Amino acid sequence: MNKKLHAIYISSFFIIGIASTLLLAINGYQYYSTPLLTRFFNPQDILLKPSGFIGQGLGVLGSLMMIAGVAVYMTRKRIRFFFNFGYLKNWLELHIFLCTLGPIFILFHTAFKFGGIVAVSFWSMTAVVLSGIVGRFLYVQIPHTIQGQMIGINELNAQNENLSYQLKNVYKIPENIFSEIEEISSLKRYKNVKLKTGFIFIIKDFFGTKSVIYRLKHELALAGVPRPQRNRIAKTTKTKLIVSRRIGLLKTMQNFFKYWHVIHLPFAILMFVIMFIHIAVTVAFGYRWIF
């Protein structure tokens, strides 16, 4: 998938997600803001209540989206036959989209009323979504090939050395600026980072990188470097800082990712177990929507 097609692919997810959420919120605002005890008298109750045509439909659609989101990603990731069906990164993005919009539909399905065993499923779903956001952040910190395989430390070191070579010998940046970049990207900065402080360190380092790039552009401008070259140097420097961070925090992030699975997976299993129980009970009582 080329960059233009990928941009359309991601943009369509944002547009569909935001448009769907706004449409549901605007259309049902009067009903959802009505006190629970008087909702029965609201004209929209027959459609938007959990057993209503729209309300139940949102529950069905949201559930199917979450099931599909997990199924397609796990199939692509685990079954060798599907390894060549697109890039794992793109399937992960589809997984994130389906497992984000699906819970939003479920939220509107409940009509913002939680109770009993369904409340356990809902809060498990919330935990899954929030931990999924953290998981996506951690996944990005661990370098992968375009096929989704982890990149080894030797390849990362080679990338880092190549970026230093470009800055010094290709772009020929001033020695004082090059020394500053080398100091900032030194792996010694990450030597004492522990699992407890790693997450906070990454966030600070993320914003610190932006500050470094801004100062770098300013210094290059003062040194009389043309704007197009400044932008290329800044882009190369940013890549070097990111690669250095990934080398320095590789083991820490891999450990984080292991612990993340311990949290994410049980909540996901609990959510689906209760979801299927809820669906079985609903069907048993005759609420079958259009089926």
Which residues of the chain are modeled with pLDDT < 70?
A: 1, 143-150, 194-198
Q: Give pLDDT tens digits for 152-206.
A: 778 888 888 899 889 888 888 778 778 878 887 887 777 777 666 667 777 777 7
DSSP, res 152 = P
- Per-residue pLDDT at 58: 95
Q: Report whether 270 contacts 211 (CB < 8 A).
A: no
- Per-residue pLDDT at 122: 79
Q: Report whether 96 contacts 132 (CB < 8 A).
A: yes
Residues 6+ apart with CB under 8 A from 251: none
Question: Helix (H, G, I), strand (E, B), or coil: what is residue 108?
Answer: helix
Long-range contacts, stretch 138-141, CB < 8 angstroms, 24+ apart: 138/253, 138/256, 138/257, 138/260, 139/92, 139/257, 141/202, 141/245, 141/246, 141/249, 141/253
Residues 6+ apart with CB under 8 A from 171: 229, 232, 233, 236
- Per-residue pLDDT at 150: 63
Q: How many CA atoms lie within 13 A of 16 on its CB side?
A: 13
- Per-residue pLDDT at 144: 62
- Per-residue pLDDT at 56: 94
- Per-residue pLDDT at 98: 94
Q: Give pLDDT tens digits for 246-275.
A: 888 777 777 777 777 777 888 888 888 888
CA gap 142, 136 in Å, rounded: 10
Comparing CA positions, the residue from 241, 236, 243, 234 lying closest to residue 214 is 234
